[in-house]
Amino acid sequence: MSNNINTPYDDVGRTMMIDAKQMLIPVINELYGTAFTGREHIELLQNENFFEDEEGDENKRVTDSFIKIVDEGCARFFQIEIQSSEDGTILIRIFEYGSLIARRLSVLEGDTLTVTYPYSAIMALRSTQNTPDRMKIVIKVPGGKEVSYDVPVLKVQNYDIDEIFSKKLYFLIPFYIFRFEKELSKAQDSDEKLSSLKQHYSNIMSKLEGLCKSGEIDEYEKLQLKNLSMEVIEAIAAKYDRVRKGLGDIMGGKVLDYEAKNIYKRGLAEGEAKGAVKGIKKANNEVKAKIRDLQIQGLSSDDILTNIIESLSK
């Protein structure tokens, strides 16, 4: 039994955290002022936590992210929750999730139990002038003492595309449409407004192509960002068909069934058949090399995908 209610935005966030966890590192640096480089050991941990309620029924809580970063032998744990609308209960959920995680991380040595709470943060997709930069959780322990920790809030709408790229906050790109949420109805009825919105996304695609050519991201990662951006656009602009079509034309449409991921998985499966880790790396490199060759030939992303799918199915 689960009390979690998922939104399309939660699903996109979790997909990014699973498939592109490296992109979460600049977000953590932005939230905590850390200086992780991405070369640290990064491990995505199980985000499902189970507990029994007062009636003995099993319940499940699913956090949006739970990752472990090991830097020079020091392990730190991070929990980031995506919030699409303010409901006044986010801090309660943060504490509840954090407590379940702390229980899992607890260490009993002799007569001493040590519990470690994760660094917690909120990624707010919508925000107002009243949305705080950070929240606080205070725990009163026996003896009158208090323990408190801050929960920083990253307000996605505050970041323009130049800042996103300059700080390498590529994780935020699928949610960039939230910055224009209040303008979607106007863009639906105004060619000028729609043209302006399309220009923003043309800029995004141009910058992503530049990163791809420079080798900072690969074709697979570019397609991830494009495809997940379209998922969010389709959800948030469900009532505005002109907006969806207009941005879909710019972004190149949505890759059916997330074929970029399927290609990658098929490469791994082929690699396993060829011989464990060495084969996996070889097959993965073959897929990436083929993508690069097709890019040089000037094929579109959709044509590249079709070509690779056909070659993998032989």
Over residues 12-24, the pLDDT tens digits come to 888 888 878 889 9
C-alpha to C-alpha distance for 28 and 15, rounded to whole angstroms: 17
**Contacts with 47 (C-beta within 8 Å, 6 or more apart), sequence order:** 14, 62, 63, 64, 65, 66
Token readout for 196 is: 């302006």
Give the pLDDT confidence score for residue 279 in this predicted structure.
53
- What residues does each domain of the chain span? 8-158, 161-254, 258-312
- Beta pairing class for 112-114 and 119-124: unpaired
C-alpha dihedral sign at 204, 205, 210, 212: positive
Task: Give the lowest-confidence range in 4-18, 157-171, 271-285.
Answer: 271-285
Residue 4 has pLDDT above 50, yes or no: no
pLDDT attached to residue 139: 94
Mean pLDDT value of segment 107-112? 96
Q: Is the overall model pTM greater than 0.85, yes or no? A: no
Q: What is the pLDDT of residues 215-259, one digit of tens each?
A: 999 888 888 899 999 999 999 999 999 999 999 999 875 554 455
| Residue 70: band (very low, low, confident or very high) from pLDDT cuts 50, 70, 90 | very high
Q: Residue range 170-198: average pLDDT?
A: 95
